Amino acid sequence: NKIVIATGNKGKAAEFKSIFEKFGFEIQTLLDYPELDEIDETGDTFAENALLKAEGVSKALNTIVLADDSGLKVDALQGQPGIYSARFAGEEKNDAKNNAKLLGELSELPFEERTAHFHCTLALAAPDKESMTIEGELDGYILGVPRGQNGFGYDPLFYVSEKDKTLAELTHEEKNNISHRAIAVRNLEKVLENWINN
Ligand code: ITT
Ligand code: NA
ipTM reported for the complex, 2 dp: 0.98
Pocket test for ligand 1, best of 154, 167, 176, 181 (most atoms within 8 A of CB): 154
- Please identify which of the residues 40, 68, 69, 75 carries the catalytic annotation: 69
Residues 124/188, Cβ–Cβ less than 8 Å? yes
pLDDT at position 31, please? Answer: 94
Kindly tell me the number of DSSP H helices and DSSP E strands found in the chain: 5, 7
State how far Cα 155 lies from the chain centre: 11
Q: Does ligand 1 have an atom closer than 6 angstroms to the CB of 7?
A: yes
pLDDT at position 1, please? Answer: 75
Quote the ligand 2 centre to 51 CA distance (angstroms). Answer: 11
Query: What fold, for 2-196?
Result: Maf protein (3.90.950)
CA end-to-end span of the chain: 17
Q: Please, which pLDDT band fits residue 188 given cuts at 50, 70 and 90?
A: very high
pLDDT at position 25, please? Answer: 82
Share of the chain above pLDDT 90, in %: 87
Quote the ligand 1 centre to 193 CA distance (angstroms). Answer: 26
The H or E element spanning position 60 is helix 46-61
Q: Does ligand 1 have an atom closer than 6 angstroms to the CB of 86?
A: yes
Half-sphere exposure of 171 (CA within 13 A, CB side): 4
Domain boundaries, the chain: 2-196
Residue identifier of the C-alpha nearest atom 18 of ligand 1: 86
Q: Does ligand 1 have an atom closer than 6 angstroms to the CB of 121?
A: no
pLDDT digits 0-9 by tens, 37-93:
989 999 999 999 999 999 999 999 999 999 999 999 999 999 999 999 999 999 999
**Is 69 an annotated catalytic residue?**
yes
Q: Whose CA is closest to 54, among 133, 119, 120? A: 133
pLDDT at position 138, please? Answer: 98
Atom of ligand 1 nearest to the CA of 41: 10
Output phi, psi for 89, to 5 deg. -95, 5
pLDDT at position 198, please? Answer: 83
Residues 6+ apart with CB under 8 A from 19: 176, 181, 182, 185
Average pLDDT, the chain: 95
The H or E element spanning position 116 is strand 115-125
β-strand pairing of 2-5 with 65-74: parallel
Q: Whose CA is closest to 54, among 45, 63, 2? A: 63
d(CA 14, CA 61): 21
Q: Say what angle helices 10-21 and 180-196 make with each other, to 10 degrees.
A: 60
Q: Does ligand 1 have an atom closer than 6 angstroms to the CB of 99?
A: no
Residue 22 in this model has a pLDDT that exceeds 80: no
pLDDT digits 0-9 by tens, 136-157:
999 999 999 999 999 999 999 9
d(CA 82, CA 86): 9
Quote the ligand 1 centre to 24 CA distance (angstroms). Answer: 25
pLDDT at position 155, please? Answer: 98
Quote the ligand 2 centre to 180 CA distance (angstroms). Answer: 15
Atom of ligand 1 nearest to the CA of 167: 28
